Amino acid sequence: MRILPIVKTIIALSAVLGTACMASPTFINPQDGPYSFDQLGQFTVDVSKNGEVIIFSVDGFRFDEIPVVNGAFFNQWGDLNGTHCPTDAYILSGHFVSPTRAKGDIRYGSGCNFGTAQNFVAELQAD
């Protein structure tokens, strides 16, 4: 099965990068729509594209599409001790704990370094 190597890669990357949340697969399918996000950033789930994706932005200008695999997700924007050091760098790792709620960790980047992991909660906003 092709999904299992992706999940193992997500978990391994989370461990190497020091995120406290290991993006564990929960096999929960998230609901579509904008989510409140208790850290800096915008978090939306879109289930109409190529599968389930999170559309995420730190600054509201550049958005990433992050695939949700078996209820878990991981994305890194910017290098750690490298040469790609954008002002909106981040490492996002988490999973859905219900169809309307996700938990995880985010680390914000600056100068090709990432800060301490901060827990986040994202919840589907009511209509």
Q: What is the pLDDT along the chain (127 residues), one digit of tens a residue?
A: 455 555 444 444 444 444 445 588 999 999 999 999 999 999 999 998 678 999 999 999 999 999 999 999 999 999 988 888 998 999 999 999 999 999 999 999 988 899 999 999 999 998 7
Give strand ranges (E) for the chain.
33-37, 42-46, 53-57, 64-67, 72-77, 90-98, 101-110, 113-114, 118-124
The pLDDT, as a whole number, for residue 76 is 95
The pLDDT, as a whole number, for residue 49 is 60
The answer to whether the Cα torsion of 30, 31, 37, 41 is positive or negative is: positive
Pairing outcome for strands 42-46 and 72-77: unpaired
User: What phi, psi does 86 have (nearest 5°)?
Assistant: -70, 160
Whole-angstrom Cα distance, residue 37 to residue 55?
12
pTM reported for the whole predicted model: 0.81
The pLDDT, as a whole number, for residue 115 is 93
The pLDDT, as a whole number, for residue 100 is 98
CA dihedral 87, 88, 89, 92 (to 10 degrees): 160
The pLDDT, as a whole number, for residue 23 is 80
